[in-house]
Each structure stands twice: as C-alpha cells, then as structure tokens.
Amino acid sequence: MRSLLPKVLHPIGGQPMLRHVIDSASELAPHAIHVVYGHGGEMVRSNLAELPLVNWVEQAQQLGTGHAVSQALPSIPDEHTVLILYGDVPLITPTTLRGLVAAAQSGVGLLTTELADPGGYGRIVRGADGAVSAIVEEKDATTQQRAIREVNTGMLAATARLLRRWLEGLNNDNAQGEFYLTDVIAAAVGEGVSVQTVAPQAVAEVMGVNNRLQLAQLEREYQMRQAREIMLSGVSLLDPSRFDLRGELRAGQDVTIDVNVVLEGEVELGDGVRIGPNCYLRDVRIGSGSRINPNSVLEQAEVGAGCVIGPFARIRPETRLADQVHIGNFVEVKKSDVAAGSKINHLSYVGDSTVGSGVNIGAGVITCNYDGANKHRTVIGDGAFIGSDTQLVAPVEVGAGATIGAGSTITHDTPAGELTLSRVRQKTVQGWTRPVKNKRT
C-alpha cells in the first residue's frame, strides 16, 4: 500500500476493510470473533477497540497463515466451528459465510472460485472422482497445476478439534518457508474427512487488496452493490456509477439523487427529496419535499419539509432549519435555528443565531458572532427584514417586525416594528472633477 496506515485500516465505503469483515461475521451471531494481528497491529486494535465480541490475538512472528490461526485456537473450545476470514478481503457477504459454515457440518467447508487469470492464487487440485485432494500454492505448483482455474480463497470452516490436530502437524518445507493453512486440506483428505467446496455469489466477495488500485476497484464494486440496493428500494440514482454512500441511508418514496453525490454517516431523506449534483451530506435529516441544489454541503444538520438549499450553500453542524426555509447561493449557516418561511438567499453568513419565522435576510448580511475569544448569539424576531450588507454584531437582538436599513452596522438591540439604520450621511461634492492621466509627450 506504500502507506503508514496498516492495510486493513484503509477504507472501503468510509469504514476500514477489517470493519467490513467483522460486520459480516457478526451477522452470523458468533460466540466470539478473534482478530490475529502482527506488525502495526496496535494501531489496528486502537482504531477498532469499541467493537464487541472481538478478542485481539498477537502473532509476534509472522510464520504463515497456519501459524496465525494456531495463535487463536487455545481460547476456542473443541466443539466450536471456526470460520477463518481475512482482514483485507472486505466484501465477503454473510450469505456466503452461512453456506461455508453449513458445509463444515460434514467436515471442512472450503470457499473456492474460478478465475480467468488465477495467477498468484493457490490451485484446487481434485481427484478423478471430482473431490478435493489438495491445495497447491502457485510457487510450489507444477506447470499442469498452474493451468487450473479453480483457486483457493483462503476462507474455510472446520471444528476447532480438527484444526488443532491438523495445525500441529504442519511443517514449513515449502518455497516460502511458512506454515500454510492450506496444508490442512491435504491432512483432511488423508484422514478421509469430507471437504465440501462453496462458491461465492460474486467473485468480488473474495478479492483481496494489496495496493491502492485494487482498493479503488473494490470501492467501486462496494458502491455499485449499495446503489443496486438503494434503487431497488425505490430511490432514483441518475447515475449509479457516480454515487457514494459511506454510511447509512434511510429514504422515503420518490427520492431523486443526481450525479457525484456523497453521503456519509447517517442520512435520512424524506418523501420527494431531490439532491442536486455534486452535493456532500453528512449526518443530516432532510424533510419531505425539500430540494438541495447543486454543489451544496450539509453536515450534522436538520432541514425541514419544503426547504430549498443552494446552489453553493454550506449548512454547518448544529443547524436546524424549519419548514419552507430558503437558503440561497453562497450562504453559510452555522449552529443556528431558522424558523419556518424565513429566507437567506444570497452571499450571507449566519452563525450562532436564532432566526424567527418569515424573516428576510438580504445579500451580504453577516452575524459577527466571534469577538476573538468567545462566540456570541444573535436573535432575530419574527417577520424582521435585514437589509443587504448589514453587520449584526453579537450579542444583539433584532425585534419582531423590525427593519434594518441596508449597509448598517448594528451593535445594540433594535426595537420591534421600527426602522433602524446606521449610515454616514450621503453628500454630493459640486464641481468635483475626476482625475485623468497625463498625456505622454
């Protein structure tokens, strides 16, 4: 990966690859999940420390996959079925894993797949009767064995009792000088234990990540998988190949999402919501019938029904917009409550504010909420009209129905229903002549 970040912490869909594997395993309601970690593993452990059921097992020396599994076995009862997964194979599904565990009930369940180009994978060797006889790693394979297209994914299931016995008998007499987990298959065959193979529903489920190109390929596969589910649930994605969901989406009926939209965290979209192109939403709730116009950013905010946001608007954390609020182009709202029917349509900043209903805030208005040390609040009453290019220096309160003349700097509370303004008196200088450039000689 050419990175300081351990490979299994590189994200797919906004979550570490290892988290995806653990989540899929958790769907099977396991007794425990054991994560074997080696170099750089403390960072992995600290990043995922909050996960329940996870037992962290250190592999001090990296002596191969068989050795890794043996580190976890001491804490697993003999009669338990052990399902072996990999932290850099993030798209495995619970459905496939259930099939693998079911296959282990009669001996060993082995996950295999066929690849057009099997290079780099261990090959599945079958006998004349079609039964699995061994797995041969590519570096140890003959020319004939390398032509086999059925490959080992590394994922298998068997009882702890069987695995314990077979792992104790492993040796590292191979090209890598490692203890191969795959050698337990030959041991099972030698004892006459049934090896049942299971195939994934899609090849992407068993694809691993060893570089950033493969990471990007699986990211797109993951996003297309989510896009299919979302569209089948009734959401319209205008181009599913240009959509990213890095969290959880709950959507009502007739929701439309345009291209290049990124959703993170928990996002809830009410009936009839329309999201324009190039928008970013993180941890937001948007009410029915609202429209988010292109190139808008919304984070940790609540938007009521029938609102219009953007284009090029930014709604920052702790903002709550009531129904029928309009937030226009190049407007930024932060940590503010805006009541029903209010409009902030052009080039304004409203921060740390309480805005009443039916308020009109003109172009270029800013709430001066920060004095260099502390934040202060601005309160604007119902029906107030704030003229363009006004500065409201907090803490300050504008009374209900008040009008603030354009270009004013308001530093004191203003009365309800009255016009307040602060301007230098306009004057005209009679006979003034505009300077002109001197003519060159």
- Active-site amino acid positions: 346
Q: Quick one: tokens of 419?
A: 């016009």
What type of residue is 92? I
> Quick one: which of 78, 84, 106 has its CA closest to 35?
84
Our CA angle for 264, 269, 273, nearest 5°, is 120
CA separation, residue 6 to residues 43, 86, 281 (Å): 8, 14, 28
Q: Quick one: tokens of 227?
A: 């896009």
**Nearest-10 crossing angle of helices 17-26, 94-103:** 60
Contact in structure between 316 and 298 (CB atoms under 8 Å)? no
Three-class secondary structure of residue 224 per DSSP: helix
**Separation CA 200–CA 206 (nearest Å):** 7
Contact in structure between 344 and 330 (CB atoms under 8 Å)? no
> Quick one: which of 195, 116, 204, 124 has its CA closest to 162?
195
**Separation CA 61–CA 291 (nearest Å):** 56
